[in-house]
């Protein structure tokens, strides 16, 4: 059990490419932190630096009280679950789980005890003598977790562990990982590009973009209080509606649309209005006249996609808009709806820097 | 897919006959008496002299060479084939491991040195190679026969290619599991390369067995002849003429020289084809 | 290159050392010797030698017998390559079509891979032996005035036939695996777009086989240059009058039989340059031309 601390961590590759630009982070003991971001943002690199699979160019990483920059991966007391599981294909499940312990010269009876415990916990005890190619994807996933658990590490590292599973299994494993992490209470770092996975798993989320942490906090905090345009657009499904606007001193303007209720915004810069699909609702006095293009029925809720009459997107095409509504609202194509929202529940960002102004 | 036509089968049958008939005729003829062969020419069906011919060739001194028997030559060929295959696999796996899994200062130049062997087939350096081996006193030895042959790049490239296709995560997992460089090689890499090793062993056995030029200049004493070298000698005997040409023995020798590698290829056909095709990628 | 590598000072050198040591002793040193000797003229007893610059080269290359061998090597390599590739491609395409007996055909067509060139040479030699060889008699019976011991064309025919026979199987294996590597969906899409199977082959299948074909061309040229030594040595031995002498055979002949070390070395160096060119072409093309 330990807290993990990153201090001004940077990564520059030998060819000069910069991957991580000074990350500071403190992860509390027993906490589950999720690194989330688009592919290539550096989230995996950061995780692999904690694991010791990538060198640290500058800055410090410590686990507990120990700075581990120059400690070899196997001495860091961390365990990792890989995206493609990285099971040793020629070893049985037992062999896979025991290999690391044998390398540490642990006594055989202790190894066996740990394997049996972990296998029971993961419900793979009946597969211990099978080889990975005789297991299903979900079972392999469990073995990969088992291999991490038996080492009894101070920190668990997960590198997109669910991305090779089908959708249903992914949800199921997600829940199990969360439960397991709760019951074992081991500090964990989990990397994913899937925002749903990130929201549901994390104690705290770190949204990473272009080698920097854009914002870190509890999932709902990031959802309802994003610090940047990037965070607002990355977190939340369906995605937040983003409408390019300008401020004329009293109103936000895009074409025929004029929105009241905003003040103290710059008049000389392009802005972006962000409205989440679930804060929009059908209102007679609403601000948005919308013509319906498509309705997706998800069962308990309907997602209504339409275009905002009188407004244009950045590219000059019609501005699309999405509304999350109950199952009773089922308009036809080309129906006209009037949607409204409370300005206090919307966000305004600078278009150029992405900084949130309201 | 449409049904293949009769002409397809006819072409394939002609091809199969083209590829197999010569060897069959060689076998059939080898089982006849020399008089019959001289009188009637090549034979298409086996005759009654199988045991006589093969017994003489295999076991009787002076039966085919001046004193060495085909059994001795068979043994020499086996040593060359197996020694070549194993030697090649061992040194090329080790070298490929260093090249793929280590970052070291001379890595790139050393890789190019290995690559250069492709530019220097035995034929272009044959006389100085002979001199080197002669100066080291290795003529007529197994070491001198096998070691100079195993260093070429083919095997190294094959394993390099295969190692590169092994997922990176396997090494990463092993490093988290505390495996050393040697431990990863021995515990993970060699076991997962089993099929590849088998395939390359088969191919290299055939290649080693079929070596001609090097053993030809390396071996001066009959005792050290391989079957393929014996072929050369019997060719000379036949051409020099003299007594009644022993064609059946010449044919028997070609069959004996062909049989072991052919059997290996047929028995391990799947691995062999896989290895051959993979090795050239 | 692997994303993660070991970083050790001595370990990789230990792993790579065996191969490098053997290469230095048995490849680089002899090759350097060959280059060095190619500039020397030795007396008949090898007692003294003298540095003669490029005289060995000019003596060698402008020698009619070398030019003859070079010319024969070019024709021989082109014919062997073209014929063995064509036959193998035809057989591979047909073998890829059949369902019944596919594996039998495959086995029968590929097994000759295991036969050593000199063994194939001796076998062919016996078949063409004037005393017993049906092929020899057959050729004469159908009206050819066939005598490979005296006639250069007939001798070349024998050598080429055996060389092609020996090489078909390798080409067949590669072509077949190349054909099987073409995704079924591509074949099916082509079937829907084009009715004629002949056209389909030349417009879809053959272009997709380009990498295999190109690779095999290099392999076959190399084979015709070097490995056919065993075939020539057990059939014509370069006769009649050097008409079937390839460059490699000539290096061997001049070096071991003729004991002309300087001239033989010069020929070796010329061969090295040819191999180098072949390799460069191979890598150039493999990077550029090839589709996937």
B32-58: average pLDDT: 84
Position B239 scores a pLDDT of 62
pLDDT in tens, B73-131: 999 999 999 999 999 999 999 999 999 998 888 888 898 888 888 888 888 888 888 88
Residue B189 has pLDDT above 80, yes or no: yes
- Using CA coordinates, name the residue in chain A closest to B168: A86
Chain B contact present for A79, CB below 8 A: yes
Chain A contact present for C192, CB below 8 A: no
pLDDT in tens, B265-278: 999 888 888 878 87
| Between residues C292 and A303, the one the model is more confident about | A303
Q: How is residue B149 annotated by DSSP?
A: G
Residues of chain B above pLDDT 70, percent = 94
Residue A142 has pLDDT above 60, yes or no: yes
B138-156: average pLDDT: 88
Residues of chain B above pLDDT 90, percent = 29
Instruction: State the pLDDT confidence band at C289, using cuts at 50, 70 and 90.
Output: very low
Residues of chain A above pLDDT 90, percent = 58
B153 within 8 A of B117, measured Cβ to Cβ: yes
Q: Which H or E run contains A80? A: strand A78-81
| Between residues A170 and C142, the one the model is more confident about | A170
pLDDT in tens, C229-261: 999 998 888 878 788 899 889 888 887 776 677
Best mutation target, B105, B177, B179, B198, to test chain A (most A CBs within 10 A): B177
Residue B180 has pLDDT above 90, yes or no: no
The residue to which tokens 């490029």 are assigned: C54
Distances (CA, A) of C31 to A106, B91, B126, C23, C209: 53, 21, 9, 10, 36
Choose the weakest-confidence range: C76-90, C225-239, C257-271. C257-271
Phi, psi of B212 (to 5 degrees): -125, -60
Q: Given B169, B176, B183, which is nearest A73 (Cβ)?
A: B176
Closest CA to B77 of B236, B231, B249: B231
Could you give the CA distance from residue A331 to residue A195 in angstroms, rounded to a whole number? 29
| Between residues A18 and B67, the one the model is more confident about | A18
pLDDT in tens, C22-35: 999 988 998 888 88
- Using CA coordinates, name the residue in chain B closest to C95: B12
Residue A215 has pLDDT above 50, yes or no: yes
Position C191 scores a pLDDT of 76
Chain B contact present for A53, CB below 8 A: yes
Instruction: State the pLDDT confidence band at B2, using cuts at 50, 70 and 90.
Output: low
Phi, psi of B91 (to 5 degrees): -70, -35
Position B120 scores a pLDDT of 83
pLDDT in tens, A261-284: 888 889 888 999 999 999 999 888
Mean pLDDT of chain A: 90
Residues of chain A above pLDDT 70, percent = 100
Tell whether pTM > 0.95: no
Could you give the CA distance from residue C256 to residue C64 in angstroms, rounded to a whole number? 20
C259-271: average pLDDT: 81
Residue C288 has pLDDT above 70, yes or no: no
B45-70: average pLDDT: 82
B175–A79 CB contact, under 8 Å: no
| Burial of C288 (C-beta count, 10 Å sphere; 0-12/13-18/19+) | exposed
Chain A contact present for B194, CB below 8 A: yes
Could you give the CA distance from residue A43 to residue A57 in angstroms, rounded to a whole number? 16
Mean pLDDT of chain B: 86
Buried b (16+ CB within 10 A) or exposed e, C46-68: eeeeeeeeebbbebbeeeeebeb
DSSP letters spanning A122-150: HT-GGGTTS-GGGS-HHHHHHHHHHHHHT
Which residues in chain C are contacts of B132 at CB distance < 8 A?
Answer: 25-26, 29-30, 33
Closest CA to C123 of B250, A11, A178: B250
Count Cα atoms within 13 angstroms, Cβ side, for B88.
Answer: 30
Alpha helix segments (H runs only) across A216-277:
219-224, 229-234
Best mutation target, A45, A53, A141, to test chain B (most B CBs within 10 A): A53
Position C7 scores a pLDDT of 65
The alpha-carbon gap from C36 to the nearest alpha carbon of chain B, in Å, equals 10
pLDDT in tens, A51-71: 988 889 999 999 988 999 988
Chain C contact present for A171, CB below 8 A: no
Position C290 scores a pLDDT of 44
Instruction: State the pLDDT confidence band at C292, using cuts at 50, 70 and 90.
Output: very low
B202 within 8 A of B264, measured Cβ to Cβ: yes
Mean pLDDT of chain C: 83
Position C47 scores a pLDDT of 65
Could you give the CA distance from residue C84 to residue C198 in angstroms, rounded to a whole number? 21
A178 within 8 A of A22, measured Cβ to Cβ: no
Contacts of A212 (CB under 8 A, 6+ apart): A20, A21, A22, A23, A42
Distances (CA, A) of A270 to A264, A265, B150: 14, 11, 70
Residue B230 has pLDDT above 80, yes or no: yes
Instruction: State the pLDDT confidence band at C291, using cuts at 50, 70 and 90.
Output: very low
Contacts of A246 (CB under 8 A, 6+ apart): A252, A253, A254, A267, A270, A271
Position C237 scores a pLDDT of 83
């Amino acid at each position: 059990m330990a807290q993990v601390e990153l201090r001004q961590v940077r990564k520059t590759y030998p060819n000069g490419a910069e991957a991580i630009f000074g990350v500071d982070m403190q992860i509390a003991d027993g906490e589950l932190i999720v690194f989330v971001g688009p592919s290539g943002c550096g989230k995996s690199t950061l995780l692999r630096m904690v694991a010791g699979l990538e060198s640290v160019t500058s800055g410090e990483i410590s686990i507990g009280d120990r700075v581990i920059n120059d400690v070899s991966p196997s001495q860091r007391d961390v365990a990792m679950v890989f995206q493609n599981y990285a099971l040793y294909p020629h070893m049985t499940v037992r062999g896979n789980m025991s290999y690391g312990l044998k390398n540490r010269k642990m006594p055989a009876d202790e190894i066996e005890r740990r394997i049996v415990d972990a296998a029971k916990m993961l419900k793979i005890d009946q597969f211990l003598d099978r080889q990975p190619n005789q297991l299903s994807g979900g079972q392999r996933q469990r073995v990969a977790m088992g291999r991490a658990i038996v080492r009894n590490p101070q920190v668990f590292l997960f590198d997109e562990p669910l991305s090779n599973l089908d959708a249903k299994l992914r949800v199921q494993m997600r829940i199990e990982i969360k439960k397991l992490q709760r019951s074992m209470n081991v500090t964990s770092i989990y990397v994913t590009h899937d925002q749903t996975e990130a929201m549901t798993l994390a104690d705290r989320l770190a949204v990473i973009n272009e080698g920097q942490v854009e914002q870190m906090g509890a999932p709902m905090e990031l959802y309802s209080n994003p610090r940047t345009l990037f965070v607002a657009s990355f977190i939340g499904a369906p995605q937040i509606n983003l409408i390019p606007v300008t401020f004329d001193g009293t109103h936000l303007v895009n074409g025929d649309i004029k929105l009241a209720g905003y003040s103290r915004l710059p008049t000389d810069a392009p802005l972006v209005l962000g409205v989440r699909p679930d804060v929009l609702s059908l209102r007679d006095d609403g601000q948005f006249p919308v013509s319906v293009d498509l309705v997706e029925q998800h069962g308990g809720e309907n997602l209504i996609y339409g275009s905002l009459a009188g407004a244009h997107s950045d590219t000059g095409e019609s501005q699309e808009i999405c509304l999350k509504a109950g199952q009773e609202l089922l308009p036809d194509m080309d129906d006209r709806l009037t949607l409204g929202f409370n300005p206090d529940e919307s966000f305004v960002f600078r278009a150029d820097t992405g900084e949130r102004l309201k | 897919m449409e049904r293949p036509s009769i002409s397809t089968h006819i072409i394939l049958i002609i091809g199969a006959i083209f590829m197999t008939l010569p060897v069959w005729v060689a076998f059939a003829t080898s089982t006849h008496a020399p008089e019959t062969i001289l009188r009637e020419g090549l034979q298409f069906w086996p005759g009654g002299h199988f045991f006589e011919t093969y017994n003489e060739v295999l076991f009787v001194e002076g039966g085919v060479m001046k004193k060495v028997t085909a059994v001795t030559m068979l043994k020499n060929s086996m040593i060359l084939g197996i020694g070549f295959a194993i030697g090649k696999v061992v040194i090329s796996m080790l070298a490929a491991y260093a090249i793929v899994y280590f970052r070291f200062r001379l890595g790139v130049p050393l890789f190019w040195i290995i690559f250069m062997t492709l530019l220097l087939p035995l034929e272009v350096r044959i006389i100085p190679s002979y001199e080197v081996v002669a100066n080291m006193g290795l003529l007529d030895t197994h070491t001198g026969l096998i070691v100079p042959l195993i260093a070429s790049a083919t095997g190294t490239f094959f394993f390099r290619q295969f190692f590169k296709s092994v997922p990176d995560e396997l090494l990463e997992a092993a490093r988290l599991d505390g495996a050393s460089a040697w431990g990863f090689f021995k515990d993970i890499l060699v076991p997962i390369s089993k099929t590849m090793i088998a395939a390359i062993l088969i191919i290299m056995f055939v290649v080693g067995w079929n070596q001609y030029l090097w053993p030809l200049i390396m071996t001066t004493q009959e005792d050290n002849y391989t079957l393929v070298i014996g072929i050369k000698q019997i060719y000379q005997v036949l051409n020099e003429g003299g007594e009644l040409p022993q064609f059946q023995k010449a044919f028997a020798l070609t069959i004996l020289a062909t049989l072991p590698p052919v059997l290996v290829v047929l028995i391990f056909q799947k691995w062999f084809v896989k290895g051959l095709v993979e090795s050239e990628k | 290159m692997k994303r993660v590598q070991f970083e050790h000072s001595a370990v990789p050198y230990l792993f790579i050392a065996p191969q490098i040591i053997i290469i230095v002793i048995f490849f680089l040193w002899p090759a350097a010797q060959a280059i060095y000797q190619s500039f020397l003229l030795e007396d008949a007893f090898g007692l003294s030698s003298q540095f003669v610059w490029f005289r060995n080269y000019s003596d060698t290359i402008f020698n009619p017998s070398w030019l003859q061998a070079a010319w024969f090597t070019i024709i021989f390599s082109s014919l062997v390559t073209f014929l063995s590739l064509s036959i193998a491609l035809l057989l591979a395409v047909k073998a890829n079509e059949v369902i019944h007996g596919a594996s039998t055909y495959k086995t029968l067509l590929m097994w000759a891979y295991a036969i050593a060139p000199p063994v194939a040479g001796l076998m062919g030699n016996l078949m063409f032996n004037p005393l017993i060889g049906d092929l020899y008699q057959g050729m004469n019976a159908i009206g050819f005035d066939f005598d490979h011991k005296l006639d250069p064309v007939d001798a070349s025919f024998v050598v080429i036939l055996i060389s092609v026979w020996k090489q078909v199987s390798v080409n067949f294996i590669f072509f077949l695996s190349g054909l099987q590597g073409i995704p079924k969906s591509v074949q099916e899409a082509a079937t829907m777009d084009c009715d004629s199977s002949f056209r389909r082959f030349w417009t879809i299948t053959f272009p997709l086989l380009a990498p295999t074909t190109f690779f095999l061309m290099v392999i076959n040229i190399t084979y015709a240059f070097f490995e056919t030594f065993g075939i020539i040595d057990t059939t014509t031995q370069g006769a009649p009058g050097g008409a079937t002498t390839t460059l490699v055979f000539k290096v061997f002949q001049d070096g071991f039989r003729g004991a002309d070390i300087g001239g033989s070395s010069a020929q070796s160096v010329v061969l090295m340059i040819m191999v180098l060119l072949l390799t460069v072409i191979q890598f150039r093309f493999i990077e550029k031309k090839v589709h996937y």
